[in-house]
Amino acid sequence: MCGIVGYIGARKAQSVLLDCLGKLEYRGYDSCGIAVLNDGIEVRKDAVRVKALAKALAPLNGTTGIGHTRWATHGEPSKVNAHPQCDCTGRIAVVHNGVINNFQKLREQLAEEGHTLASQTDTEVIPHLIEKYYDGDFVKAVERALKDIEGSYTMIALMAGESRLVAARKDSPLIIGIGDRENFLASDVPALLDYTSRVIYLEDGDIAVVNAGGVRVKNNGSPIVREEHKILWSVEDAQKGGYEHFMLKEIHEQPRVIRDTLAEYIASAEPIADLTAAGGTGPEDLLILACGTSYHAGLVGKYIIEGLVKIPVRCEMADEFNYAGQVSARNKALVITQSGETTDALKAVKKLKEAGCEVIAITNVVGSTASRLADRTIYTRAGPEISVAATKTFLGQLIALYWLALPYARVDIRRLDELVRELRQLPVKVQQVLDNEAAIADIARQMAGYENIFFIGKGINYPVALEGALKLKEISYIHAEGYAAGELKHGPFALLGSRTPVVAVVAQDNTCEPVITSIKEIKARRSPVLVLMSEGDDDTAELADFVITVPQIDPLFSPVVNSVALQLLAYYVAKQRDCPIDFPRNLAKSVTVE
């Protein structure tokens, strides 16, 4: 989940590395550091954010270097645990993203051989292993060191006296940016947008030797050519554009995300993925796997597909499926991952493929690992999402799920036409929610003083309650829990009272009356109630202490407008509490470790 970068060329490496690291802080930000090759290797690191490190540093003159921004796995955030990590001699420096499972055994073995390891990190064993195996050939020493390592890694190694970088990938993302007599390495595309739009995605098992004039890649000891890709995102896509926070910008980009995603699907005469089995019949079932916010999108997808296509759908957390899930070769599976690099999701894809299952991936990143492993990929076209809390990518996933299901909907043609018209109206409906921003911000100021909040929903809006609670806890640090409305009575009622408000999502469908009944039961326990409902529902409004309204819409699409309203609520609660909205504590954007 850490961010790593490398540079080799004619520019001063220090400024390039710090600039790229600043664009990767969504991957981790509890410490950071750089190593620059000059006469030897000069390392500068600390348990601070990238801007603070940059401000404190004196100029370094080298034009080759590596950098790291950390999300701690082994050892607390500190200067000694920050990367880069070096060997005893200080001639070898390494940055690493991943987890080395056998690091304790390696650490003990190295200590017995006379190596002194100073940090608590698993990463530190890598430069010591390279030092151990170095006999004049830097690349071979890295290759031998990696053979000793069990676990996941993306790493870049730098050695004094060597005018090249050596990088390797296993289970964590790494891309090479191709420039003019200069080359770059990074964990993710946004780091490189200011410098190049030409990238190579490394695959598992790749070892790359990178110098200013070119790149050589080997896999399993044999040279291999990796295809070069063109990045379509612009520099402006990864900037705040005048908004106070990336999260607010990304919330406001959602009408555009819906339009762009729909435009691509509507322009195609074919369904975006095949939901039929061999012979043209519907699959016996569909398995959806995802993590975090993407899992909530998958739960909405379960309701969409079961309601329209009339097939059974299982939606499971990918990390649990990897240890308990049963796979049948006849299954068709849908794996949802915003980054396309989520470790648990990728493990699930590999498990499914080994069982002979057809895999469809929904992701936001062209060329990501998930897109290369899956049989078919559906792209959400949301552009780069910098804020750790997902917003526009979640809506992009919902739109992809609607369009995935509609060609196979078992409804009459009139109903199908209505649904397509409503789908095309979603950008306008979402903009109407955004136009109500000031009213939502006012309610958020009143909610910001609470420390525990429940969210409830039912049917297709039950996952919306889960997602609303997740957004609030992620960025405001309020303890928030999402429940199916009927489940609140089975235990959580013990926590209700005047200091425990409940956010109730009310849709105009067959779940409306049961949710209203739940609201009355909650009010009887003296809990304040915030109702999120459609415009014109005056009877429900009378039950509420606070009301947020959204435009009237077909209930099938209510998760879209309701989710946007809850994103704004979470944002303004966090702002009122003066929280670091884009980079909440302990979190990172792309979860590339178990």
Q: Which residues are part of the catalytic machinery?
A: 2, 589
From edge to edge, which strands make up the β-sheet containing 175-178? Answer: 41-46, 31-37, 64-70, 3-8, 183-186, 175-178, 198-201, 228-230
- E-strand ranges in 205-300 read 206-211, 214-219, 222-224, 228-230, 286-290
Whether the CB-CB separation of 445 and 269 falls below 8 Å is answered with no
Strand bridging mode 228-230 / 529-534? unpaired
79, two tokens: 């200067």
Alpha helices in 137-270 (DSSP H): 138-147, 246-252, 254-267
d(C-alpha 535, C-alpha 556), whole Å: 16
3-state secondary structure of 319: helix
Whether the CB-CB separation of 171 and 373 falls below 8 Å is answered with no
d(C-alpha 539, C-alpha 541), whole Å: 5
d(C-alpha 229, C-alpha 238), whole Å: 19
Number of H helices, E strands in the chain: 19, 25
Distance of CA 294 to the CA centre of its chain: 9
